[in-house]
């Protein structure tokens, strides 16, 4: 039996062909990838696909899976074409590594093909509930972590004949609630069946660098390194304002040198200390974040306690004033009452009256 090769895939429409070229270039020059290359092409004119075919890159055209009228998220509708990865056609390869076009590959991807089953990038601090909005739910625990569909390792042995149609059914049912394109549907499809890739295979610099307002991290860009740099947020690396623009542009310019007949070894190998180093920085920054959060919570609690104490003392002052008034009323009222009783007693029993006055 012929040994099956591994396949590296990306997806692009007519607007992201330069980005796809850069991705293939960074994979070719930096990772030493020995398997096949494929472009999933969504509505790309034939004349623009010739560059990829000439380089030996397999081109698979992807028919639309939905109409643009129904498509509601800000992601391009082409992302639905990732569903095709779960068709029997791809079983001719042993392992599939899927990477989004907003990625720069810096070193070897060999460890990704050693993973059994399905694995994907870690969505840091992202849960299933963030993948949907107002989704009626009874079957899924939306508090569970979700994975990033921009970096996936797929063992094709898991692909079954009806998987593609199951994805379509899930999309028809829950697609209108998705906030992140196809990612939510893939998370439902692979619910409790995915493994988390090490962080070095999905470094999100704009998030970890603190550019995103909700990010608890603030790691310097020159401290961020990994096998896969994934630009999940703006600015994208092709934006001239991006810290990574020069690296991205240099990689794109090298794309014309891709010759799949001659493969290079990766100039860099991923070592465990890279992984540990990132966990150190993340934990360090998380610690700062939680410390700031704890201090903030402590100050808020202290303020609440102080306000409650003030309220208590104000209440005590009011209560004391009320008690003074109450006792004054009792004493003066009783004195008056005693005065009236005394006059009556003096008339009826003068001895008792004199005795009480003396005592």
Question: Cα(first)–Cα(last) distance of the chain, in Å?
Answer: 122
7-270 is a CATH 3.90.550.10 domain: yes
Residue pLDDT, tens place only, 31-61 = 999 999 999 999 999 999 999 999 999 999 9
pLDDT, tens digit (0-9, with 9 covering 90-100), for 53-79: 999 999 999 999 998 878 777 899 999
The pLDDT tens digits for 141-154 are 999 999 999 999 99
Q: What is the pTM of this model?
A: 0.77
| pLDDT > 50? residue 290 | no
Nearest to 124 by CA among 43, 204, 231: 204
Q: How many CB atoms lie within 10 A of CB 263?
A: 12
Dihedral sign, Cα of residue 233, residue 239, residue 244, residue 249: positive
How distant, in Å, are the alpha carbons of 28, 211, 298, 325, 343 from that of 329? Answer: 96, 69, 46, 6, 22
Rounded Cα–Cα distance for residues 239 and 234 (Å): 9
Sort 210 into a burial class: Cβ within 10 Å, 0-12 / 13-18 / 19+: middle
pLDDT, tens digit (0-9, with 9 covering 90-100), for 333-354: 544 555 556 666 666 777 666 7
Per-residue model confidence (pLDDT) at position 211: 74
Work out the average pLDDT over 227-242.
95
Give the mean pLDDT of 84-112.
98
| Cα–Cα dist 277/211, whole Å | 21
Do the beta carbons of residue 94 and residue 26 sit within 8 Å?
A: no
d(CA 338, CA 275): 91
Burial class (CB in 10 A: 0-12, 13-18, 19+), 162: exposed
Of 220, 228, 219, 160, nearest to 197 by C-alpha is: 228
Which residue, 170, 72, 178, is CA-closest to 131?
178
Q: What is the pLDDT of residue 301?
A: 53
Residue 245 buriedness (CB in 10 A; 0-12 / 13-18 / 19+): middle
| Mean pLDDT, residues 89-107 | 98
Q: What is the pLDDT of residue 339?
A: 59
Please state the rounded mean pLDDT for residues 227-245.
Answer: 96
């Amino acid at each position: 039996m012929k040994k099956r090769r591994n396949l590296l895939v990306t997806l692009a429409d007519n607007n992201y062909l330069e980005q796809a070229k850069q991705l293939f270039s960074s994979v070719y020059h930096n990772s030493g990838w020995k398997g096949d290359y494929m472009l999933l092409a969504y509505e790309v004119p034939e004349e623009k696909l010739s560059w990829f075919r000439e380089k030996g890159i397999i081109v698979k055209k992807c028919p639309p899976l939905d109409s643009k009228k129904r498509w509601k998220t800000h992601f391009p509708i082409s992302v639905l074409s990732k569903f095709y990865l779960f068709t029997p056609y791809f079983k001719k390869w042993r392992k599939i590594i899927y990477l989004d076009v907003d990625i720069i590959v810096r070193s070897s991807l060999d460890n990704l093909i050693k993973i059994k089953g399905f694995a994907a990038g870690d969505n840091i601090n992202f849960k299933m509930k963030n993948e949907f909005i107002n989704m009626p739910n009874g079957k899924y625990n939306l508090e569970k972590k979700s994975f990033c569909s921009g970096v996936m390792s797929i063992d094709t042995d898991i692909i079954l004949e009806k998987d593609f149609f199951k994805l379509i059914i899930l999309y028809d049912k829950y697609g209108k609630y998705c906030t992140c394109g196809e990612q939510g549907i893939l998370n439902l499809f692979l619910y409790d069946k995915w493994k988390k890739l090490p962080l070095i295979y999905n470094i999100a610099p704009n998030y970890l660098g603190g550019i995103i307002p909700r990010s608890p991290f603030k790691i310097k860009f020159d401290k961020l390194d990994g096998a896969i740099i994934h630009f999940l947020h703006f600015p994208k690396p092709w934006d001239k304002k991006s810290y990574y623009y020069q690296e991205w542009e240099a990689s794109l310019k090298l794309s014309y040198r891709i010759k799949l007949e001659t493969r290079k070894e990766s100039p860099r190998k991923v070592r465990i200390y890279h992984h540990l180093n990132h966990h150190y920085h993340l934990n360090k920054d998380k610690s700062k974040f939680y410390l700031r959060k704890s201090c903030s919570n402590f100050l808020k609690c202290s303020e609440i306690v102080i306000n409650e104490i003030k309220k208590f003392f104000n209440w005590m002052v009011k209560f004391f004033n009320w008690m003074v008034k109450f006792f004054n009323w009792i004493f003066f009222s009783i004195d008056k009452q005693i005065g009236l009783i005394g006059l009556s007693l003096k008339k009826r029993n003068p001895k008792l009256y004199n005795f009480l006055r003396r005592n």
